[in-house]
Amino acid sequence: MSDSPTLAGLRVLDLGARASTAWCSRLLADYGADVVCAEAEGGHPLRCHPPFDADGVSVAARYFLANKRSVAAGEVGGLLAEADVIVTDALPGAGLDCAELSARSRAPHRAAHRSR
């Protein structure tokens, strides 16, 4: 039996801005995937979500964004080509939609979530 995490070596790019995508990529990170979270200017929206701990950090952000690396959203170009999995809640007309992700990425697996 191997001591390495189940998803070790899997590269995940999280392009989401909602708790659902943050939760999905958190699970992948917990199982050993290398997860990079792209954050818009001002940080991930969860960073502003109360309640806040004694250090002034959002409890939701501390939980959902754990075990991930963060990069500025403008720096995802090169990461698209390296990702094995892309997690997104992108909607058409709001940045990168699914068709554009398919054109710019080699990732065979994508997880997308849309809220109504």
Report if residue 24 sits inside a domain.
Answer: yes
**pLDDT, position 16:** 87
Q: Which two tokens stand for residue 89?
A: 């809640």
Alpha helices in 17-104 (DSSP H): 19-30, 59-64, 77-82, 98-104
Report if residue 62 sits inside a domain.
Answer: yes
Task: List the domain range (segments joined by +) for residue 56.
Answer: 11-73
Write phi, then psi, for 70 (nearest 5 degrees).
Answer: -120, 145
Report if residue 86 sits inside a domain.
Answer: no
- Torsion angle of the four alpha carbons 80, 85, 91, 96, in this order, in degrees rounded to the nearest 10: 0
Count of the separate structural domains present in the chain: 1
Biggest CA–CA distance in the chain, Å, is: 47
pLDDT in tens, 4-62: 889 999 999 998 888 989 999 999 999 999 999 999 888 999 999 999 999 999 999 99
Q: Which two tokens stand for residue 84?
A: 């094995």
Report if residue 112 sits inside a domain.
Answer: no
Mean pLDDT, residues 82-109 taken together = 70
Global pTM reads: 0.83
